Structure 1
Amino acid sequence: MQHRDPAADRDRARSDGAAHQRRAAGQPAMSEAGSREADQPDPFADWNWEDPAGLNQVMDEFTASLATAHTLERVASAPYSAAQLATLGITGIEFAAFRTTHSAGLGADLVGLRAPGASTEPGHIYRVDSECYFTQLDIAEPLPVADAALDWVYAEHLIEHVSLPTAVHWLTEVRRVLAPGGVLRLTTPDLAKYVAGYLDGDPFFAKHRRRVGQAIRVAPAMPARKAFMFNQLFYLYGHRWLYDLAELRHVLGEAGFAASEVRLCGYRSGSRDDIAELDQKFRSDETIYLEVSP
């Protein structure tokens, strides 16, 4: 296995899940930005599609601005045992989420939450605004969860933000913490869809630009050049490694999952409706959906 570079992965992982965190945190989506108070600064004033480093900084700052709460109550400390989690009513983890919408979920993110007079620290579970649970963690490190303690794990558009060795490490940890019969639902941009759009004139590129434009109304229109559409997948948003179905099967196999247990799914379709419902419509056009059990 190649040498992992957790520090670089941490830097890149900060931009992951910004749109998801907006929804989960109850913050206004980009398409609602026009309704912000006039005296609030526009977080996307410096948006430039052709400046990956600058755009990543804008998204990092925007994600950090969402990492707020009214109250934070520490309710458990690592390592999280099955008994601890059961007492809290937690059955699974949603990664890259400040506030998971799953009633039995634990939100997790590299970026911590802040409240007046308090902030999260790694190694603890917090009750956020008396509504949901959150823990701050780094997927490049061992997960602070006991073996076979979770029934499900959900990760939307996370794996592409870390290197392949770190992805293998994280998925190995996910397999460890899942109980027999548990399920990992994994989603990521589908490289095959982008290749088809570039080579075959597939209408996916035009549809995706329209969808992004509807969501990010305060930003300039996404360029229509085919080369740009391909480059933005690789270089914007802090992406580190891209996947198609075969590459996902490979990384899951390297983490110890059996190939026979990997199931290709659809948008909001899978073995458990409550987990599949976490899929975001905004990302459905470009996404590949997989489920696997340990």
Structure 2
Amino acid sequence: MKLHLGCWHRQIPGFVHVDLCDMPHIAHQHRIDQLPFIADNSAELIYCSHAFEYFDRQQAVVVLAEWRRVLAPGGVLRLAVPDFEALIQVYRQTGAIERVLGPLYGRMEIQTASGPECLYHKTCYDERSLSTLLEANGFTQPRLWDWRATEHAGVDDHSQAYFPHMQKDSGILVSLNVEAIKA
């Protein structure tokens, strides 16, 4: 089983999709930090693009424990989050804070039982901090991954976010794409 957590409107063939929003391709309309409907050690891959940063540093530890629970031994956790180092580069290049506010703070509106709610990013990462977090929480061999070399390369999501927008050959990749293996 391959899980796509926080998928929103993006559908990857062959993946089980989990998100709070209600769309036809979503198998489980649920929070991504709690996966009670997924058995222990049952997923070979968890893919989460630009949703992990909605959890603060303390919550991230709990989220990783849950994702580690559902991953099979040797399973891969593939994350994409805004790249703090790349965003600093964009800011230094442009001097325009508005170019980095969206990726740094995010903003997603969701409908809850009590009405609309806005979610914002609660932290940011660079390669070292994300790799260290993964290793401290039961994952090994953290490494950068190239979106072009994945089975979901044809799905244009935030793992392919560049500045300037859509300049994938000459721009700055502002997504930090790191994967690690369940120890």
TM range (shorter): 0.7 to 0.9
Q: Which amino acid aligns with 1:283?
A: A
- In 1: Cα distance, 2:102 partner to 2:12 partner: 31
- In 1: Cα distance, 2:124 partner to 2:45 partner: 24
Deviations 1:182-214 (A, max 9, x none): 212110111001112334x2xxx5xxxxxxxxx
2:17 alignment partner in structure 1: 107
Q: Which amino acid aligns with 1:111?
A: C
1:190 aligned to 2:67?
A: no
Corresponding residue SS for 1:173: helix
TM-score (norm 1): 0.48
1:251 aligned to 2:133?
A: yes
1:220 alignment partner in structure 2: none
1:92 aligned to 2:2?
A: yes
Question: Which of 26, 34, 39 is residue 141 of structure 1 equivalent to?
Answer: 34
Deviations 1:97-122 (A, max 9, x none): 25653332111112345xxxxxxxxx
- In 2: Cα distance, 1:111 partner to 1:133 partner: 8
- Cα RMSD for the two superposed structures: 2.4
- In 1: Cα distance, 2:8 partner to 2:105 partner: 25
1:158 alignment partner in structure 2: 51
2:157 alignment partner in structure 1: 280
Corresponding residue SS for 2:4: strand
Segments of structure 1 that go 5 or more residues without pairing to the other structure are 1-90, 114-127, 206-224
- In 2: Cα distance, 1:246 partner to 1:138 partner: 27
Question: Which of 142, 156, 169 is residue 262 of structure 1 equivalent to?
Answer: 142
Aligned pairs for 1:230-241 (under 5 A) are: 230-237=100-107, 238-241=120-123
2:179 alignment partner in structure 1: 291
TM-score (norm 2): 0.74
Q: 1:139 to 1:102 in 2, by over 3 A?
A: closer
1:30 alignment partner in structure 2: none
- In 1: Cα distance, 2:148 partner to 2:59 partner: 27
1:45 alignment partner in structure 2: none
1:227 alignment partner in structure 2: 97
Corresponding residue SS for 2:130: helix
Between the two proteins, the alignment pairs up a number of residues equal to 159
In the TM superposition, what is the alpha-carbon distance from 1:247 to its structure 2 partner?
Answer: 1.5
**Partners of 1:191 and 1:242 within 8 A in 2:** yes
Q: Which amino acid aligns with 2:177?
A: Y
Q: Whose Rg is larger?
A: 1
Which is strand-richer, 1 or 2? 2
**Partners of 2:131 and 2:178 within 8 A in 1:** no
Corresponding residue SS for 1:139: coil
